[in-house]
Amino acid sequence: MTPSASPPLAPSERLLCGPGPTNVDPAALAAMQRPMLGHMDPELHEIISEVVRMLRLVYKAPEGLVLPLQATGTTGMETGLLNLTEPGDTVVVGASGYFGRRLIEIARRAGCEVVEVVEDWGVHVPNERLLEALDAHPETALLAVVHGETSTGSLHPLAVLGEALKDRPGTLLMADCVTTLGGTTIDVGGWGVDYAYSCTQKCVGSAPGMSPVAVSEAAIERFEVRATPVPFSFDFDLLRKYWVGRPAAYHHTAPILHIYALYEVLRETLTEGVDERCARHVAAGTHLQQRVRDAGLDLLAEPEHQLAQLSAVKVPGGVDGKSVAAELLTEHGIEIGGGLPGAPAMWRIGLMGPNATEATADRVCDALIGVLEAKDAPISA
């Protein structure tokens, strides 16, 4: 048999309105077609230094270490736990969804004693419960929460938690900002967050493949004095010698085209204004949520803790949620998400990065309501 090549790549155009990835900002796509530089080229190192400078502004992290890991959100989570804890350390985790549970799982695998503070899907974990857990475990090395729980659409009151932890300097505050960076106000420096990690494929509006992180001075001290080594690929001490140290020291081959893409979306974010970009996400999400409620559908998250950029819509009784999502994809070219394992039946609609507009919200709502009406679903639209 003659070996034959596959046909040329021709992925379909989709409107990506699930929990992420979102559609890539055209400026990021264009950036990925610029000439490649070598990973030890000083010109690339200048570009990286600019990426780090701009990331500091987006995270509002004037101090400490800021860099984009060559990783996804999950690896950002794991890298933090591996650097900032040692086996046997007590870690308190607030979890009320899939990603909080993932934090628990990864902390356990890192050898930590995990104290779980758990609430039901869509119910945020009250800060009072987290502080009670710290009172019961004053030896706690690190407290971790999910700022924006993408599996439920719930927003954690992180600023208030950060304030409450300021008189507990022995406990580092770690926040999952995978869904919030670039879409919800984050003030790493002001709120006293010791470790924040994110991704590039959601509100930042670039391609998946990088995990921007911010590490406080207190967290840096923690990894500098550790007794046990961090696995090589995750070691902040080695990573910073490439991303921040100059001249740069080789650690791994950097994802050069992803760095270009990140550079461009950060530039766009600062040109738009970080707060203005977050306000755009709030306006789009609020519009979508109002239309969902007007159609007689219910949201999973508590209204006062509703994330803007991710709306978890409960699937009405008698409706096959998966077939509705499949029809949106095949008939309308619109991707929305479903519930993650263990979650109640839901659709997860994301308006992130370039898709955080009221026009996109209307396009998704019109299509969803049209599909539901055609199925005689119990809605009031």
Q: Cβ of residue 101: shortest distance to ligand PLP, in angstroms?
A: 11
Query: Based on CB atoms, which residue is closest to ligand PLP, 96 or 289?
Result: 96
Q: DSSP per residue over 322-378, as a string?
A: HHHHHHHHHHH-EE-EEPPTTSPSEEEEE--GGG-SHHHHHHHHHHHHHHHHHTT-S
Q: Cβ of residue 372: shortest distance to ligand PLP, in angstroms?
A: 26
Largest CA distance in the chain: 72
The interface with ligand PLP within residues 59-98 (CB under 6 A) comprises 72-74
Query: Based on CB atoms, which residue is closest to ligand PLP, 116 or 362?
Result: 116
Query: Based on CB atoms, which residue is closest to ligand PLP, 140 or 154?
Result: 154
Stretch that binds ligand PLP, among 144-152, 158-166, 184-192, 239-247 (CB under 6 A): 144-152
The interface with ligand PLP within residues 242-301 (CB under 6 A) comprises none
Q: Cβ of residue 190: shortest distance to ligand PLP, in angstroms?
A: 22
Q: Which of 15, 16, 18, 20 binds ligand PLP (CB under 6 A)?
A: 20
Record the tokens describing residue 344, joined without a space: 């109640």
CA 128 to chain CA centroid, nearest Å: 24
Q: How far apart are CA 349 and CA 361, in angstroms?
A: 9
The interface with ligand PLP within residues 159-188 (CB under 6 A) comprises 176, 178-179
- Decide if residue 311 touches ligand PLP (CB under 6 A): no
Helical (H) or strand (E) element with 145: strand 142-146
Q: Which of 16, 24, 144, 146 binds ligand PLP (CB under 6 A)?
A: 146
Q: Cβ of residue 176: shortest distance to ligand PLP, in angstroms?
A: 5
The reply to whether omega before 21 is within 30° of 0 (cis) is: yes
The interface with ligand PLP within residues 92-131 (CB under 6 A) comprises 99
Angle at 319 between CA 314 and CA 323, to 5 degrees: 100
Nearest position to ligand PLP, beta carbon: 73
Whole-angstrom Cα Rg for the chain: 21
The interface with ligand PLP within residues 207-246 (CB under 6 A) comprises 208
Give me the helices (H) in 18-145, please: 26-31, 42-59, 73-84, 98-109, 127-136
Nearest to 98 by CA among 348, 364, 349: 348
Query: Based on CB atoms, which residue is closest to ligand PLP, 99 or 243?
Result: 99
What count of other Cβ atoms lies within 10 Å of the Cβ of residue 177?
A: 30
Binding site for ligand PLP (CB under 6 A): 19-20, 72-74, 99, 146, 148, 150, 176, 178-179, 199, 208
